[in-house]
Amino acid sequence: MIKGQVKWFDTTKGYGFVVPDDGQGDVLLHANVLRNFGRSSVAEGALITIEAQGTDRGRQAVTILEIDTPETAQEEPAAPRPTELVVGDASDQPLLPARVKWFDKTKGFGFVNVFGDGDDVFVHMEVLRLYGLSDLQPGEAVSVRILQGPRGKMAAEVHSWDHAQLADAAPGKTAAN
């Protein structure tokens, strides 16, 4: 078992690297291992626990045991830069199942559709990063909390689908039906 931090992950290339806490060199993280964990992407800086094996070219992850969102909280919140997205608190909103319509990492945004609702829900790249994701793939199942933005519905939280399943299983926690 190795704990570390995601150095980077590129969904186009299909791999990235983990900087392990043991200081024994980076560990390759392949997209297939990430998919087996139920994710298609992971944000730079995310804390990760993996099982790895040694190969001729170094260590590579074989199983992901846990991924934690990067620590973004500060003692004193910094004032947002003019280019930063500021999203309100949606913790009182239900966690809804949704499917990715499209997402363009280069543009920094995309849209999801909540099951049973035909309206598009705007998703900004900064929201993904806040919740430990770096990209979304068309057709991918996610869970979202939604707020009304200046131009319509927008995702204030985006979680991997497995997050919703864990929320359902947690005592006292419920996700939307």
Q: Quick check: 47 and 70 in contact, CB under 8 A?
A: yes
- Retrieve residue 111's tokens: 């849209």
Q: Is the pLDDT of residue 6 over 80?
A: yes
105-161 pLDDT, tens digit each: 888 889 999 998 888 999 998 888 888 888 899 999 999 999 987 778 999 999 988
- Hey, what domains does the chain have and what are their CATH numbers? 2-68 (2.40.50.140), 96-169 (2.40.50.140)
Q: Is the pLDDT of residue 74 over 70?
A: no
- Residues present in the chain in total: 177
| Cα distance between residue 52 and residue 69, in whole Å | 21
Q: How confident is the model at residue 76 (pLDDT cuts 50, 70, 90)?
A: very low
Averaged over 59-83, what is the pLDDT? 63
| Cα distance between residue 73 and residue 177, in whole Å | 30
Averaged over 51-68, what is the pLDDT? 90
In terms of pLDDT, which residue wins out, 176 or 64?
Answer: 64
Q: Quick check: 7 and 26 in contact, CB under 8 A?
A: yes
CA angle 172, 160, 107 (to 5 degrees): 140
